[in-house]
Amino acid sequence: MFETVVVATDGSASVSRAVDCTLDLASKFDATVHALYVVDEGHLEELPTDLEGDIRDGLDEQGQQALNDIVAANERREDPVELETAVRVGHPEKQIVGYVRDVDADGIAMGTRGRSGEHSFLLGSVAERVVRTCPVPVLTVRQLEGAADTAEAAGG
């Protein structure tokens, strides 16, 4: 059923639960996981030219760390799965959906920060736009309340 699963990360603590779910799913189906980080070009477009390079370097480092965290989480498992990592640059939702198509993924998982209020669970977020446009099933995983604080304190 699932041979290739993408997990999108933004490096935040809220994605850690999505990573765990993705690794569990991949293990059950003997699937390959593709961990994807997208450098949001929107952050770069608004910057003065003289700062763009430094900020880009910082975003690249943040992305590499986010992917390293997923690799480390996989290596800590009793049953690590085949894992590939990738970084793309562009608008996150377009890059995520494009990557899913490029690797012919069977599904994608991504974290989302749950927000309070009517219709605001995903409204306006990258996750919602991916759900609306992605050609494969999308598993959105909410961080449990208080778990983000615990993950940040643990360094993950």
Question: Which amino acid makes up residue 149?
Answer: D
- Which whole number is the average pLDDT over 83-109? 96
Residues facing residue 92 across a β-bridge:
none
Question: Which amino acid makes up residue 93?
Answer: E
Closest CA to 94 of 155, 40, 46: 40
Map out the domains of the chain as residue ranges. Answer: 4-153
Q: How confident is the model at residue 7 (pLDDT cuts 50, 70, 90)?
A: very high
- Which whole number is the average pLDDT over 4-8? 97
Q: How confident is the model at residue 1 (pLDDT cuts 50, 70, 90)?
A: confident
Structure tokens at 23: 């690794």
**CATH superfamily of this structure's domain 4-153:** HUPs (3.40.50.620)
Q: pTM of the prediction? A: 0.83
Alpha-carbon radius of gyration of the chain: 15
Higher pLDDT, 34 or 40: 34
Higher pLDDT, 84 or 16: 84
Closest CA to 8 of 128, 119, 114, 155: 128
- How buried is residue 57: exposed, middle or buried, by Cβ count under 10 Å (0-12/13-18/19+)? exposed
Alpha helices by DSSP H, listed for the chain, are: 16-29, 41-45, 49-76, 92-102, 126-133, 147-153
Question: Which amino acid makes up residue 87?
Answer: V
Q: How many residues does the chain have?
A: 156
> What are 42-92's pLDDT values in tens digits?
767 777 777 777 888 888 899 999 999 999 999 999 999 999 999 999 999
pLDDT at 67 (0 to 100): 97
